[in-house]
Structure 1
């Protein structure tokens, strides 16, 4: 099944299935699994369940729909920071305690972070995608959420929004994943987008990641190392 996405990222996706329908997703090395490094715990406040949720072990009744305003703001892709070497300290830090070398981690994130959409703006119900000097966008409304269960036993929640109008280039669906499972402002997120809702849920290897546009590269590194 071919999926069309903004920018150069288009792929034929694999076979993860929805836990919401009683199925279990295929093996993966992301969607918030072992090799994922960045900060998050500091944004949970005093919630005693924060680390449990972050690790992907939560109860269904902890999940609640989230408004698009949870991701409001201007966001930058971290992919350029990976390719220009800014994130090298993060890769080196991961290699100190991980199962891969720094070079292997970098290659892993090259696939994960890859995207041509270098900036995203979210204001009200409008999402604008920026690829260099080109931009396009649309109005989006909530289309619920889906829970994915992975072979390792952890789970993730994708919050789904469907296009209600806008530019033809804008994707029909966007899906946010940020380790948060109920209404709360995001401090970063992974975004999946395309025109086939179900096929997007199968994507586990490419997860363009966005941090606030106000952060410098060094500040992004500090955020990632803080977790």
Structure 2
């Protein structure tokens, strides 16, 4: 009986330790739940990852600099009423079972912007009322610094916006966001948004101001409209 009592005492002592160890394996480190919750609900209803500034290490250095978008750019919206683009609207209308005028109006709405051209030089962005080559007058200008990346679902695909903040507190457009330039596409261009805050811009799901290279041809624009 003495041996049985000794064995029972050992088991009684070991049981709480065993339960404690099992429970500890399932517990989260304080704050772990918050730090792991990187997904937020996007304006389109899909879960989008919204990296914080600490995620900059994962963003290529060249995309944390305006140098990736440097140069002179023309606003595509200023081209859209050119009669020479009629074949593009006709092709789009046939594809979408609409009319050329409806296609043009929809494209104007998606590409609408209150500037005609951009000049990106160093850390400075200058917004113009016309193409740079047409003596566009300055609407606004400011230097911008890297902010962070934001993601949104576009056409069923997750796309990354690269955001920059104006250093001038009086800047007309405190925030600008860009998609990267795809240099493999025939039409050299990029989509952007501009305004007050990233949240405001991300909520404008169907708004994609677009600028193109000054060397853009009519044929390239027709192909773009036809897609």
- Normalising by structure 1, report the TM-score: 0.63
In structure 1, what is the equivalent of residue 151 of structure 2? 147
- What RMSD in Å do the two structures reach over aligned CA positions? 2.9
Q: Deviations over 1:14-61 (max 9, x none)?
A: xxxxxx63324327xxxxxxxxxxxxxxxxxxxxxxxxxxxxxxxxxx
CA distance in 1, matches of 2:203, 2:104: 23
CA distance in 2, matches of 1:79, 1:86: 14
Q: Is the alpha carbon distance of 1:220 and 1:77 closer, same or farther for their aligned partners in structure 2, counting shifts above 3 Å?
A: farther
Which of the pair is proportionally richer in helix? 2
Gaps of 5+ in 2: 1-37, 46-57, 131-136
In the alignment, which of 161, 164, 168 is matched to residue 158 of structure 1? 161
In structure 1, what is the equivalent of residue 110 of structure 2? 112
Q: Is the alpha carbon distance of 1:25 and 1:123 closer, same or farther for their aligned partners in structure 2, counting shifts above 3 Å?
A: same
CA distance in 2, matches of 1:158, 1:92: 32
Q: Deviations over 1:96-135 (max 9, x none)?
A: 3234332221111121122220000001111100024333
Choose 1 or 2 for highest CA Rg.
Answer: 2
Q: Is the alpha carbon distance of 1:69 and 1:78 closer, same or farther for their aligned partners in structure 2, counting shifts above 3 Å?
A: same
Gaps of 5+ in 1: 1-19, 28-62, 181-185
CA distance in 2, matches of 1:137, 1:143: 18
Q: Deviations over 1:127-168 (max 9, x none)?
A: 100024333211111111111135x642221110111238x3
| 2:167 alignment partner, SS class | strand
- Normalising by structure 2, report the TM-score: 0.63
1:82 touches 1:110 (CA, 8 Å); kept in 2? Answer: yes
In the alignment, which of 31, 40, 44 is matched to residue 26 of structure 1? 44
Considering Cα pairs closer than 8 Å and 6+ residues apart, tell me whether 1 or 2 has the greater RCO. Answer: 1
Q: Is the alpha carbon distance of 1:179 and 1:70 closer, same or farther for their aligned partners in structure 2, counting shifts above 3 Å?
A: closer
